[in-house]
Chains A and B, each alone.
Chain A
Amino acid sequence: MSKYRRALERLVDASAKERIAVSAAALALSILVGALVVFVSGIVATCASPAFSVLGVDVCYDPINVFTELFLGALGHPEQGGWSPTNYRIAIALQQTTLLIFTGLAVAVSFRAGLFNIGVQGQLVFGALAAAVATIWAGAIAPTGILGTVFLVPLGLLAGAIAGGLYGALPGALKAYGGANEVITTIMLNFIASNVAYVLVSTFLMPESSQLVQTAVIPAAAKIPNVPFIGFEARDAFSLLALLGALAFITGIAYLLAKTSFGYDIRTSGLQEEAAAYSGVDAKRTTVLSMALSGALAGVGGAVWVLMVKGRFLTGLPSLGFDGITVSILAGNNPIGVGAAAFLFGVLKSGTIAVDFSTDVPVELVDVLRGLIILFVAMPEFFRLIGKRYLGLGGEQRA
Chain B
Amino acid sequence: MRNTLRAAVGVFAALVVLGLVFPDSLFGLVTDTGTAEAALRLAVPITLAALGGIFAEKSGVINIGLEGLLIVSAFAGVAAVKLLGTGSSVGPIPSIWVAFLVGVLASTLLALLFAVVCIEFEADQIIAGLAVWLVALGIAPFASVVLFGTKNVQVSTLGDISIPVLSTIPYFGDVVFSANVIVYMMFVAVPACWYVLNRTQFGRWVEASGENPSALDTAGVSVDRVRYASVLISGVLAGIGGAALSLGHVGAFTAGGATMVNGKGFIAIATYLFGNYNPLGTLVATLLFSGLDSLQIGLQQAGIAIPSELVQTIPYVTVIVVLVFVGRTRIPAAAGDHYDSGEDSR
Which 3 residue pairs across A and B have the least CB separation, nearest first? A179-B327, A371-B135, A367-B138
- How many chain-B residues does the 8 Å CB contact rule pick out? 49
Chain A 112-145 interface mask (CB, 8 Å, partner B; 1/0): 0000101000000000000000000000000000
Within 8 A of A (CB), among B27-75: 64
Q: In the complex where A188-B320, A195-B310, A379-B121 touch, is A181 in contact with B273 (Cβ < 8 A)?
A: yes
**Which of B141, B262, B309, B313 has most A Cβ within 10 Å?**
B309
Q: Which residue of A lies closest to B311 (CB)?
A: A195
Residues from chain A with Cβ under 8 Å of B131 in the complex: 371-372, 374-375, 378
* A interface residue numbers (CB < 8 A to B): 37, 41, 44-45, 116, 118, 174-175, 178-181, 183-185, 187-189, 191-192, 195-196, 198-199, 202-203, 322, 325-326, 329, 362, 364-372, 374-375, 377-382, 385
* B interface residue numbers (CB < 8 A to A): 64, 113, 117, 120-124, 126-128, 130-139, 141-143, 145-147, 258, 262-263, 266, 269-270, 273, 307, 309-310, 312-313, 316-317, 319-320, 323-325, 327-328, 346
Check if A41 sits within 8 Å of B134, measured CB to CB: no
Residues from chain A with Cβ under 8 Å of B139 in the complex: 37, 368, 371
Q: How far is it, in angstroms, between the C-alpha of A202 and the C-alpha of B145 when the chains are bound?
A: 31
Q: How far is it, in angstroms, between the C-alpha of A367 and the C-alpha of B324 when the chains are bound?
A: 33
CB distance from A212 to the nearest CB of B (A): 15
Residues from chain A with Cβ under 8 Å of B123 in the complex: 378-379, 381
CB distance from A114 to the nearest CB of B (A): 11
Q: How far is it, in angstroms, between the C-alpha of A185 and the C-alpha of B324 when the chains are bound?
A: 9
Check if A185 sits within 8 Å of B309, measured CB to CB: no
Q: In the complex where A116-B126, A371-B139, A378-B131 touch, is A179 in contact with B145 (Cβ < 8 A)?
A: no
Q: Which residue of B lies closest to A173 (CB)?
A: B324
Residues from chain A with Cβ under 8 Å of B64 in the complex: 183
19 contacts between A and B (CB under 8 A): A174-B320, A180-B327, A183-B126, A184-B270, A187-B266, A191-B262, A196-B310, A196-B313, A203-B307, A367-B141, A368-B139, A371-B137, A377-B127, A378-B117, A378-B128, A378-B131, A379-B121, A381-B122, A381-B123
Q: How far is it, in angstroms, between the C-alpha of A174 and the C-alpha of B270 when the chains are bound?
A: 14
CB distance from B339 to the nearest CB of A (A): 14
Residues from chain A with Cβ under 8 Å of B145 in the complex: 362, 364
Q: How far is it, in angstroms, between the C-alpha of A44 and the C-alpha of B139 when the chains are bound?
A: 14
Q: Which residue of B lies closest to A60 (CB)?
A: B146
Check if A185 sits within 8 Å of B320, measured CB to CB: yes
Residues from chain A with Cβ under 8 Å of B266 in the complex: 184, 187-188
Check if B134 sits within 8 Å of A174, measured CB to CB: no
Q: How far is it, in angstroms, between the C-alpha of A198 and the C-alpha of B120 when the chains are bound?
A: 44
Residues from chain B with Cβ under 8 Å of A192 in the complex: 313, 316-317
Q: Which residue of B lies closest to A398 (CB)?
A: B346
Residues from chain B with Cβ under 8 Å of A41 in the complex: 142-143, 146
Q: How far is it, in angstroms, between the C-alpha of A40 and the C-alpha of B128 when the chains are bound?
A: 25
Residues from chain A with Cβ under 8 Å of B270 in the complex: 184, 188
Q: How far is it, in angstroms, between the C-alpha of A382 and the C-alpha of B310 when the chains are bound?
A: 45
Check if B319 sits within 8 Å of A184, measured CB to CB: yes
Residues from chain B with Cβ under 8 Å of A184 in the complex: 266, 269-270, 273, 319, 323
Residues from chain A with Cβ under 8 Å of B135 in the complex: 368, 371-372, 374-375
A198, A203, A326: the one within 8 Å of B134 (CB):
A326
CB distance from B257 to the nearest CB of A (A): 8
